[in-house]
Amino acid sequence: MIALLWLLGCAPKAPPPAPDVPHALTILHTNDIHAHFEPAPAEWLDGHPAIGGFVRLEQEVRALRAARGAPQTLTLDGGDQLTGTPITEINADGSFGGAMHGFLDAIHYDAWVVGNHEFDKGLDNLTHYVENHPVLPLSCNLLRLGSTLPLLPRQEPSHVFAIAGMRVGVIGVTTQELGGLMKGSEFGRLTLLPEIPAVQAEVDRLDPVTDLIVVLSHIGVDNDKALASAVKGIDLIVGAHSHTRLTAAIQVGDTYIVQAGSYNRSLGVVDLVEQDDHITSFHYELHDLLPDTATVPPDPKLEGMVATYKAEIDHVYGEHVSDAPALLGRSYNHESPLGRWITDGIRDRTGVDIALYNAGGLRADIDAGPVSRLTLFQCFPFQNPVMRFQLTGAQIAGMVALNVTAETDEKSGFLSTSGLSWTWRKSGGVPTVVSVLVDGQPLDPARTYAIAANSYVTEQWQKHLGPDAKPQNVEPLGYTDLDVAVDYARKKPVVDPGNVRAVLLP
Ligand SMILES: [Zn+2]
């Protein structure tokens, strides 16, 4: 009867909704920890001091939770927890890298988003990584093959946290470049949806039942900006993947974007006030985790965990293999001392005409001082098999043309080379190759050359070698890039070989 009266317009009018009260919330966030459980060098600070690590991170989180009131805080990680130190070579709690999740559990994170490097030890390993730990994995676009179900156990596309008197929807999204970033055979085992429509669908679903929408994104800061423009209704994007140290939030329309660098060295701290479905006050700070700025004592349990893993790693990786008289740095867009050194090492070991190594595979600089197996592991943590294959001179010319373009486009990585050199110039802003030499002789377009590279280059050959340079007669040589690095370092001190390969003409 009441329903009928309502339909007829006879029911008493519902009172207008009471005005919402302001709700304060603090979001603490990290991203791209990459297995860095101990302090790591902060290259943006004078003298590159080692900062951060889980002990120091936990101190900062504990102090902030106490200051804000624990129920008022949400602690999130933006993914790429794995690969970067040998801690992911240890099987802990049923998976390689399980130790990393152990730390996140101990710090009581609320949720994290699955990054591309979580797949480095394969999908089966990631499944065990996720199922043995309580912190909630999110991703709205990673699905089981040919299904609409989440890929991983316990994974949710999004989760609504009832916290600080409001409903906070947190949506996870994983980079749609995943296919180009992981092993092809493993990528064939899942379904990946495009980022923007997948997030839009979750926002549409959550908007009516939440007061605040946060996207926990592993897509990189440029794609975060595109996402904020394309999808209305996102209040905050907590970012990752591009390793961007944002010391101030970016604003796109009504959406804030934050990101906390990489390697467990900084904590992002967002303090916001929500009222009537909108952020009415927003404050963001990036806290660099300097050793001497902690305001609470270290947690003995975490100190013990770090010491245990450190001892296990030192036992295997502590061996002193060489010395570096000076820093060997790396670069993503340009030729670098470390890129020259590893490609010279690969050519020395294999005897090929040309050795190659991709920029994204160079993960740490070699500092001046003693060089241990651990030092080299941190440079080449993926332990890719070294592959031998063939390319024609014409294909190599195309590859060099791609490589000079990389020097003027910060998104494309530079392919380090040994045995191959070239001159180039910027004619009217356009990078142009002038001459190409192999072992000092002009490149012969008709000849077939012997090449060696880490397997990432051959697996992702379209990206690194160019669309016309499919490697021929690919064969694994039975050892990894890390094996090459260790053996080459044993032979002689680790120094920049010089002998510049990419010469920019005036
Ligand atoms: Zn990533």
Long-range contacts of 156-159 (CB under 8 A, 24+ apart): 157/198, 157/202, 158/202, 158/205, 158/206, 159/111
Of 326, 344, 287, 382, nearest to 494 (Cα)?
326
- The whole-chain average pLDDT of the chain stands at 93
Per-residue confidence (pLDDT) for residue 16, from 0 to 100: 57
Ligand 1 centroid, distance to 243 Cα (angstroms):
8
Ligand 1 centroid, distance to 272 Cα (angstroms):
27
State pTM to two decimals. Answer: 0.84
Ligand 1 centroid, distance to 34 Cα (angstroms):
9
Chain-centroid distance of CA 176 in Å reads 13
Ligand 1 centroid, distance to 210 Cα (angstroms):
28
Is the pLDDT at 4 greater than 50, yes or no?
no
381, 458, 459, 476 from 385: Cα distances, Å: 12, 10, 11, 7
Residue 73 pLDDT class (50, 70, 90 cuts): very high
Sign of the four-CA dihedral 477, 482, 483, 486: positive
Is the pLDDT at 9 greater than 80, yes or no?
no
Per-residue confidence (pLDDT) for residue 353, from 0 to 100: 98
For residue 439, is it left (φ>0), alpha (ψ between -120 and 50) or beta?
left
pLDDT, average across residues 30-46? 96
Per-residue confidence (pLDDT) for residue 69, from 0 to 100: 85
The C-alpha atoms of residue 204 and residue 202 are separated, in whole angstroms, by 5
Q: Helices in 132-237 by DSSP H: which ranges?
A: 178-181, 184-187, 195-206, 221-230
Ligand 1 centroid, distance to 50 Cα (angstroms):
23
Per-residue confidence (pLDDT) for residue 13, from 0 to 100: 55
Chain-centroid distance of CA 330 in Å reads 17
Ligand 1 centroid, distance to 3 Cα (angstroms):
53
Pick 261 or 463 by higher pLDDT. Answer: 261
Residue 7 pLDDT class (50, 70, 90 cuts): very low
Interior/surface letters 166-191, b for 16+ CB within 10 angstroms, e for the rest: bbbbbbbbbbbbbeebbbeebeeebe
User: Please, which residues have CB within 8 angstroms of residue 127's CB and are 6 or more apart in sequence?
Assistant: 152, 153
Per-residue confidence (pLDDT) for residue 15, from 0 to 100: 58
pLDDT, average across residues 104-126? 96
Residue 20 pLDDT class (50, 70, 90 cuts): confident
Class of residue 14 by CB neighbours under 10 A (exposed 0-12, middle 13-18, buried 19+): exposed
Six token digits for residue 260: 């906390």
Per-residue confidence (pLDDT) for residue 341, from 0 to 100: 98
Ligand 1 centroid, distance to 478 Cα (angstroms):
28
Q: Please, which residues have CB less than 5 A from ligand 1, an ion? A: 80, 115-116, 241
Ligand 1 centroid, distance to 398 Cα (angstroms):
28
SS3 236: strand
Ligand 1 centroid, distance to 117 Cα (angstroms):
6
Is the pLDDT at 1 greater than 70, yes or no?
no
Is the pLDDT at 3 greater than 50, yes or no?
no
467, HSE (Cβ side, Cα atoms, 13 Å): 0
Six token digits for residue 403: 């490589």
Is the pLDDT at 2 greater than 80, yes or no?
no
SS (H, E, C) 293-342: HCCCCCCHHHHHHHHHHHHHHHHHHCCEEEEECCCECCCCCCCCHHHHHH
Amino acid at 444: D
Sign of the four-CA dihedral 35, 37, 39, 44: positive
Ligand 1 centroid, distance to 242 Cα (angstroms):
7
Ligand 1 centroid, distance to 312 Cα (angstroms):
27
Ligand 1 centroid, distance to 55 Cα (angstroms):
24
Per-residue confidence (pLDDT) for residue 184, from 0 to 100: 67
* Domains of the chain and any CATH numbers: 18-310 (3.60.21.10), 319-504 (3.90.780.10)
pLDDT, average across residues 300-304? 98
Six token digits for residue 449: 């050359």
Ligand 1 centroid, distance to 292 Cα (angstroms):
30
pLDDT, average across residues 75-91? 96
CB 456 within 8 A of CB 382: yes
Per-residue confidence (pLDDT) for residue 6, from 0 to 100: 42
- Within a 10 A sphere around the Cβ of 311, how many other Cβ atoms? 10
Give the DSSP H or E segment for 4: helix 2-8
Q: What percentage of the chain carries pLDDT values higher than 70?
A: 96
As a residue count, the chain comes to: 506
SS3 239: coil
Residue 11 pLDDT class (50, 70, 90 cuts): very low
Phi and psi dihedrals of 312, rounded to 5?
-65, -40
For residue 175, is it left (φ>0), alpha (ψ between -120 and 50) or beta?
beta
Of 173, 169, 161, nearest to 73 (Cα)?
161
The C-alpha atoms of residue 184 and residue 178 are separated, in whole angstroms, by 10
Is the pLDDT at 256 greater than 90, yes or no?
yes
